[in-house]
Amino acid sequence: MLFSDEQVANDINQKFEPVWVSVREVPIVTIDFGNGRKLTRTLHGNVATYVLCSDGTIVDILPGLYERDEYVRQLDSLYWVHHYMPRTVNPKAFLADYHRVQYQSLKASGKAMEVNPFADLSKVSIEISVKTILQPPGWRAGLGPAVQTPVLVEQPDFSKPGELARWKKLHEDTEVNETQRRGPVHAMLLAHPGAKPDDVTKQLYREVLHADIDDPYLGLGETLFKDYPFTEDIPQSSPRTQTSKLVSLSPKAARN
Asked whether residue 28 is domain-assigned, the answer is yes
Asked whether residue 113 is domain-assigned, the answer is no
Asked whether residue 178 is domain-assigned, the answer is yes
Among 7-11, 165-169, 210-214, which stretch is predicted with the lowest mean pLDDT?
Answer: 165-169
pLDDT-based confidence at residue 74 (cuts at 50, 70, 90): very high
Backbone angles phi, psi at 210, to 5 degrees: 55, 45
Cα separation, 140 vs 37, in Å, equals 54
Question: CA separation (Å) from 28 to 39, 43, 240, 243?
Answer: 10, 6, 16, 10
**pLDDT at residue 149 greater than cutoff 70:** no
**pLDDT above 70 as % of the chain:** 72
pLDDT at 33 (0 to 100): 79
Average pLDDT over residues 155-162: 70
Cα separation, 72 vs 90, in Å, equals 28
Asked whether residue 94 is domain-assigned, the answer is no
Asked if 247 contacts 20 with a C-beta cutoff of 8 angstroms, the reply is: yes
Answer with the residue of higher pLDDT: 171 or 24. 171
Asked if 188 contacts 177 with a C-beta cutoff of 8 angstroms, the reply is: no
Asked whether residue 100 is domain-assigned, the answer is no
pLDDT-based confidence at residue 238 (cuts at 50, 70, 90): very low
Asked whether residue 84 is domain-assigned, the answer is no
pLDDT-based confidence at residue 243 (cuts at 50, 70, 90): very low
Residue 246 sits in which domain range?
6-69+152-228+235-255
What is the bridge-based pairing of β-strands 46-52 and 16-22? Answer: unpaired
Asked if 200 contacts 192 with a C-beta cutoff of 8 angstroms, the reply is: yes
**pLDDT at residue 240 greater than cutoff 50:** no
pLDDT-based confidence at residue 22 (cuts at 50, 70, 90): confident
- Given CA atoms 212, 106, 56, 140 in this order, what sign does their dihedral have? positive
pLDDT at 224 (0 to 100): 65
Cα separation, 61 vs 48, in Å, equals 7
Cα separation, 66 vs 83, in Å, equals 23
Kindly calculate the radius of gyration of the chain based on its CA atoms and give it in whole angstroms: 21
- H-state helical runs in 85-195: 91-109, 130-133, 168-176, 182-191
Give the total number of structural domains in the chain: 1
Asked if 1 contacts 13 with a C-beta cutoff of 8 angstroms, the reply is: no
Asked whether residue 191 is domain-assigned, the answer is yes
Answer with the residue of higher pLDDT: 192 or 218. 192
pTM for the predicted model, two decimal places: 0.79
- Given CA atoms 226, 204, 50, 197 in this order, what sign does their dihedral have? negative
Answer with the residue of higher pLDDT: 147 or 206. 206
pLDDT-based confidence at residue 191 (cuts at 50, 70, 90): very high
Q: Is 243 helix (H, G, I), strand (E, B) or coil?
A: coil
pLDDT-based confidence at residue 242 (cuts at 50, 70, 90): very low
Asked whether residue 99 is domain-assigned, the answer is no
Q: pLDDT (tens digit, 9 = 90+) per residue, 99-112?
A: 999 999 999 999 99
